[in-house]
Structure 1
């Protein structure tokens, strides 16, 4: 099919479509990849608002002679959602639950609805959609139907095909039809001649289908021709569309079968094995116990997860010793049945010779997990298996192409041994995880697909692996579909006659090859490098960076290696839970998610978006809504640190194009604050006189709808933070020589805007009998500064100067055994995050290891049993909002521990993403709408709903400002709460 585009296509679509029409190079680039190794630049993108938009896009594509490919979450691992024609994205707008029949356990949904979002709507009704794929936070129902997704509990609930009742679809010629069982299809049924042809094909090929289709549940390759064979169940034409990867029709609504929610009393038996083969041999015996699922985690995944902060505590809670493999075995029946099943599981493991010895030597055994929170954390870890594997910071990465082959369980151990030998024979290794219960293990050999030799190795491994799968009568595609990776191998798997039938089906549905060509039928070679993300000649722009990126080795190293850590799996696209990615949750634009930004950066530095793309206005727009929350630093399992990347790009752009007056004003806040404090009364007129507010918006871009922070004449002075050893604030008492000395880092925001927070901290530390000294510069009167405002404004070179000055001043204290304690999360944590990257070396590492948030210091002292505070009950409920950086650095448990020092406190931690203020972001006239929307997502409604006499606790200056402006409540720092609870009576 010709991909020549008439110039009027974009204009036509803009006239006819209610959704967005994106034909610029940056937008197209963001849709050129999915979670596979492939990249194809589309001609344009339509973000459809409804079925009418889909139909209009299809009409335009057909008349222009251009291919059309549907896209949901873009998480396909075989290249299903990339093509050179028109891409239609349903995930932003077409995400409604159209109908719900609770009694009948069925629902009608739009194809763009995300699985987790759907299940949140179903939960109040005691129902869920049980095809629980690991990408549930971003996988759409339409995409899952297109791939015939399976999920970890398919042992009990089956695949997508087993749970789809009907599909409303548009055919390539524009005909609309409802594909369902034939007796249901009377309402808007597909064309009768198409039905007749398909039934005739099913009858003709019934014997060949029975002979050639693998007899394993995890078979999702090719078209589901077996759905056309008339047996005990009526033919359901929707099941032919399921797994067709958008090549036969376009779904506009999907009717699905629901299931009752699993019992809350489920039990998880974590089976430990001393060797990998032992786990594989045991799988068939464990499956005989009829668990809900049996999921594999191997030693490679365990080791990688231990290096990821968000998963380390989970591993420590349930992994005994150093197992070579784990089988996570879930039972979700009645409590008595679950307990009996665990007993049988332990008996099976004992019969196989595995148990924990009393001497502590690890031989294997079962750890039973009953705590629902730990079960959820373990499930989250397993679901992140792909991204955990991809977190390797080296030139080679685990590559998906043989990863979801499925073989009968009795052959699983031999299959894995032989596949491991194939990998070793080609000089590489594999990583293993996932569905041991189905004989469908995700395995990825480590290769560098930028190298021609490794691409040849990939093909050789694929050919040998698929031949072995056929020998075991398994399926070469057990979960993730065909796409570009496996479609060319269909003839070897199914035979020429079945492949001929596949072509016959494609021709009957789509004679012009309009819909997602090159998938399943007439595919390209899987190793065609021109279709890959890293084609021949791929290289990144070499430029001097201000941050140290050396820990990202990648295949190119440095900044490029860091950018390429994004594997496009889309964990950043979740719409609820944790923090990442707050701007995407508001806009739902691919541009505004970590994945979209990382893809744009990769294309820019490799020259694929034109000259000077890194410094362009389009790149600035791409990064504009990144609030530098650092959530991706923690929550992205591959460690894509977009906050630091944004700071680097802003610095590079500033060097080329200069900085605005607003940028300079914000960056130099630590320098101008003393003067601003002296004239604070005059500055206060800005918020009282509308003309002044409008003028500040016109001159500097500060929104007239946002109040500015108040500079305090009674600002914090260094001498206030000095508490001698043995002294006690508001009293005298002997301190303990065993207690560490504290160096208080008085941040710019606390010093000039919220001095009461610093004074409260001094009071609490003094009451606890710690020696405190405010950190001071080695020379001059200018207070120390972490450089946060310079980092945020792109002046990272100035931030580096501040870091060097601060390191020099703090180093003597640290080497004397004192700890650095700060109150403002964004400032103190700069010492731990940006300082080592701006000033790499031993000295910055020493500072980073000694820097603690106030609450982290208290939690540390609680654990060491050194903290004694005379606190009285406050008699008030407390609602806690966590600063993004507290969450990114795992400090929230410390905040909660500090507040729970208060007797009888009733603490509620608000589940929230970013508050939306994010430093200067919330003041900017261009971003204030997004800022307010972020706050309204969860934080501000929760604060408004809190009782009037409740404490609202927020440690971030920006967070407190957002709460004040958006909910008219005064939030306080944890230090203020503790100071108010001191039993001295003057709090």
Structure 2
């Protein structure tokens, strides 16, 4: 739907607002979608720095006649946070914890604070806010209040409404007001409003009692039951909770806090042979008073098994191939937990499910007490939506009947009947989530680009909602109304309540400026003009550099890869994992994987201007992507932005050519042999300040960053010449190790030789003066065709090793893991797949050898502690465990791993004058402070050459590759043995004398 164009609005906002004012097509496009199927291009976006900025935005919008929609994390499932007017994003600056009363267990927060961020602040005080939504890493408290969020443990802690004490709000006319318990009195400016609301409550009391579903999970419409004379408590903040920003703008929210739950939780993973059996069991299991009962169905299990980050978790607790799991959690004192989990096993046995059974009733309980495994399972369950969306096909699970709630006694019949409705319309559903409260997230698989599937969506909705009414349930149990469900309120609540909803809206917002079209006077939910894929949606056909055929869609599958982003925003997390490191610094929607993916989709579908793909705005959108590859692993739908960035750089290069800086980066492996001969001259750049500034102007490398120094004695292939040994190892000597840090390769040769391995380097069949390169530098510049040539040379050189069964080992994570990843898209086929399966980092090889009992190294601790930082690609390919395991082979040395995202160097990113500030800020998030606080006798370990450079520049500490640490441990052991021998000799000489 077209945006409302108001040039005067933009000019006024730019004059009056201190925060960012964004009216360009790229920025507006990034805010045109949320996690729903809808897309509405806004007129503009404001990123307020203060409440006063919000007031300015509201005043300007009101006077220009433009709607205003508030937005937090933008994770709404139903289209609550999209509109054609002004979008105001609170998540960047309005993120404060304003007050904390530990004794009263109360806090006052700004609307943009993220739930996980809040709970990190509360944890030292023994408190938390327990409305634990699955999007806790990015959901804001303001958005949760607007949506009346619930969370997995609502069975014990209630919903957002139950935990909201008061709200300070700005009304549509600009009035500031406080909504809270009525006995506190009301703001004079809103006393008439309060009186009218209470009058409406008295007038409609009987109708509310008759029409409102008596289930906990009812978040549809306005909370008119909060206005009833006998409401307990009678709190007018609750009329704003769940109002989706249509009644007022929250500026401060007072919330109830709870003591942290006991650490010794226990979980029972109840396995069922049929889905219906699980649904029938739920009503019995909740009688044991668990904190939660969460469903995971067979489809989710199967999809999660194909996602690297979840596979080990499933293998740890899922027995066989159950049709469904119910994850039952108890969080009481240890003795009570044990009593309840024993009762759970008894209840399951009484229902006929025990692993000792055989035949169709086979099932049972796996008891889980390990906190780490419980956390991993919780992460798996919280990722349910994204796991379901990871299907690589045009049809995707679509949210519209996904959080209907019915009484538990009807749950089995409801799920059976809804499954039949799906089958009637030629589709199937995926199920997961809150079995404890009869609110299952179910999404039929539909292709929303097709008119027939859009029509099927409406037909399914009408039949499903009718069935929910029959069971006296709620058609909106958790995710709110938005565009999806608002039009059905009259059917659900009746005409009289629907008119009362409109009366409330008009009393708060007479001109309809606040987020119109939600809850009242809504458009049809299947209006395709509002869809993310509207009629006429097309995607530019381009000749791609990579092979994208693993994804569906046009452009050789590139379209399908881009459209895998479902906007759920897992990339917006602030801590934990790696994704998305630049966003953690800027907090800008442009700089997160979701924002980049949305921009690509809009550009390639022609929605943000002609030739947007090759524009400077597109380059700016991708500039801060450091190609860490974290999204490849941590995005549950597998949006690989690093590969997409390379593809777009390739497309830009085809049209615009390659710049000088990019060519210098790309061609480094080719000119390094001769450049190393004049390395001393090149090093003068760093010593000569004027030269550094001149190089910044000419090439773009920041004068604040030292450049890598060519080694005086580079690594030669002849140094790896151990012809005999128990097993042959082919060492891939990477460009940086060969020409800049040969000590790493020499250390690797030393360690492998000491282990009695026959070592040789990988050498090209031709061009012996041109050593091998994995092509990583070409990929960084978008020169995919050149990278393909290097990949082919590498594959040719390693073919004998592949055929003979020799181990293929390398040191630099980005090189070896390029062979495991991009080679498959550069050279699709069996040979690249063989190399992908065989290429190993040295720590993986040594760790595997040790596990098989084949590693014979005598090691001694060269230091009491090793502080380990993982390279982004090590984390993305789950190889961190290998380096930790290998370091722990050294007896007497403790290994501590820094909880860090990207170091910030990221190859050439840290050298660029335009990105160095972000590079340094990324290092300061956690890595560099951790290194500075390490004791002087701690060894700093980092396998990535870029990581070592950042650590050296930022702390003055020298970091070592794991191969260097092992070589040092070998030397320490030799010296210790030599010293012991000397002591024995001296002792013997003393005895003789």
Q: Deviations over 1:419-448 (max 9, x none)?
A: 011111111100000000000000000000
Give the match for residue 502 of structure 1: 501
Equivalent residue in structure 1 for 2:792, among 785, 804, 807: 804
Q: Does 1:976 align with 2:975?
A: no
Greater mean deviation of Cα atoms: 817-826 or 477-486: 817-826
Q: CA separation of 1:167/1:316 partners in 2, compared to 1, >3 Å: closer, same or farther?
A: same
Which residue does 2:176 correspond to in 1?
Answer: 176
**1:185/1:946 CA distance change after superposition, 3 Å:** farther
**Cα deviation digits, residues 704-728 of structure 1 (max 9, x gap):** 00010001121111111222223xx
Write the deviation string for residues 286-337 of structure 1: whole angstroms up to 9, x where unpaired. 1000000000000100000000000001111111111111111100000000
1:2–1:882 CA distance, 2 compared to 1 (3 A): closer
Alignment partner of 1:754 is 2:741? yes
Q: Per-residue CA shift, 1:268-288, capped at 9, x if unaligned?
A: 111111111111000011100
Contact 1:4 1:66 in 2 (8 A): yes
Note if contact 2:4-2:42 (Cα within 8 Å) is conserved in structure 1.
no
Equivalent position of 2:324 in the other structure: 325
- After TM superposition, give the deviation of residue 622 of structure 1 in Å: 0.1
- Distance (Å, rounded) in 1 between the aligned partners of 2:757 and 2:684: 41
Task: Give the TM-score taking structure 1 as reference length.
Answer: 0.98
From 880, 893, 897, the equivalent of 2:881 is 893
* Distance in 1 between residues matched to 2:430 and 2:37, nearest whole Å: 17
Distance 1:468-1:114 versus aligned 2 partners, 3 A rule: same
- Please name the residue that 1:211 is paired with: 210
Deviation at 1:888, TM superposition (A): 0.1
Structure 2: how far apart are the matches of 1:189 and 1:573? 40
2:897 to 904, 909, 912: 909
Pair 586,2 (structure 1): closer, same or farther in 2 beyond 3 Å: closer
- Structure 2 residue matching 1:142: 3-state secondary structure: helix
* Pairing 1:632–2:619 present: no
Aligned to 2:762: 775
User: 2: CA distance between counterparts of 1:276 and 1:658?
Assistant: 57
Provide the rounded CA distance (Å) in 1 between the counterparts of 2:614 and 2:578. Answer: 28
Partner of 1:730: none
1:729 — aligned with what? none
The RMSD of aligned alpha carbons is 1.4
Give the whole-Å Cα distance in 1 for the aligned partners of 2:365 and 2:539.
48
Deviations for 1:539-581, whole angstroms, at most 9, x for unmatched residues?
A: 1000110100000125876111000000000000000000000
- Residues 193-215 of structure 1: CA distance to partner in whole angstroms, max 9, x if unpaired? 10011000000000000000000
Contact 2:554–2:560 (CA under 8 A) maintained in structure 1: yes
The match for 1:932 is 920
- The Cα offsets for residues 119-143 of structure 1, whole Å up to 9 and x where unpaired, read as 0000000000000000000000000
| Residue aligning to 1:32 | 32
Indicate the residue corresponding to 1:149 in structure 2.
Answer: 149
CA distance in 2, matches of 1:670, 1:754: 14
Aligned partners of 2:158, 2:344: CA distance in 1, in Å? Answer: 23
Task: Identify the residue that residue 473 of structure 2 maps to in structure 1.
Answer: 474
* Counterpart position of 1:240: 239
Partner of 1:843: 831
State the alpha-carbon separation in 1 of the partners of residues 276 and 15 from structure 2. Answer: 60
Alignment-derived partner of residue 553 in structure 1: 552
Q: Map of 1:158-173 to 2, 5 A cutoff?
A: 158-173=158-173
- For 2:981, the equivalent position in structure 1 comes to none
- Asked if 2 retains the 8 angstrom alpha-carbon contact of 1:394 and 1:555, the reply is no
For residue 2 of structure 1, report the CA deviation from its aligned partner. 12
- TM-score normalised by the chain length of structure 2: 0.97
Q: Secondary structure at the match of 1:183?
A: helix
Q: Residue 771 of structure 1 aligns to a residue in which SS?
A: strand
Residue 872 of structure 2, aligned match among 877, 884, 904: 884
CA-to-partner distance for each residue in 1:389-429, whole Å, 9 max, x for gaps? 00000111000000000000000000001101111111110
2:808 to 804, 809, 820: 820
Are residues 555 and 267 of structure 1, via their aligned partners in 2, closer, same or farther at CA, if it must alter by over 3 Å?
Answer: farther
> Would the aligned equivalents of 1:574 and 1:581 in 2 still touch at CA under 8 Å?
yes
1:80 equivalenced with 2:67 (yes/no): no
Question: Superposition pairs for residues 185-200 of structure 1, below 5 Å?
Answer: 185-186=185-186, 188=187, 191-200=190-199
Report if aligned partners of 1:448, 1:555 keep a CA contact under 8 Å in 2: no
> Where does residue 983 of structure 2 map in the other structure?
none
From 959, 965, 977, the equivalent of 2:953 is 965
Deviation at 1:5, TM superposition (A): 3.8
**Is 1:426 the counterpart of 2:415 in the alignment?**
no
Match of 2:675 in 1: 676
Separation in structure 2 between the aligned mates of residue 228 and residue 555 of structure 1, nearest angstrom: 53
5+ residue gaps, structure 2: 977-993
Partner of 2:92: 92
**Structure 1 contact 395–555 (Cα < 8 Å) conserved:** no
Q: Unaligned 5+ residue runs, structure 1?
A: 727-734
One of 840, 846, 851 as aligned partner of 1:863: 851
Post-superposition Cα deviations, 1:824-861, rounded to whole Å, max 9, x if no partner, equal: 00011110111110111111111111111111111222
Q: Which moved more, 1:84-93 or 1:188-197?
A: 188-197
Match of 2:536 in 1: 537
Match of 2:660 in 1: 661
| Counterparts in 2 of 1:927 and 1:259: CA distance versus 1, 3 Å | same
Q: Please identify, of 174-183 and 952-961, the stretch whose mean Cα deviation from structure 2 is larger.
A: 174-183
Match of 2:753 in 1: 766
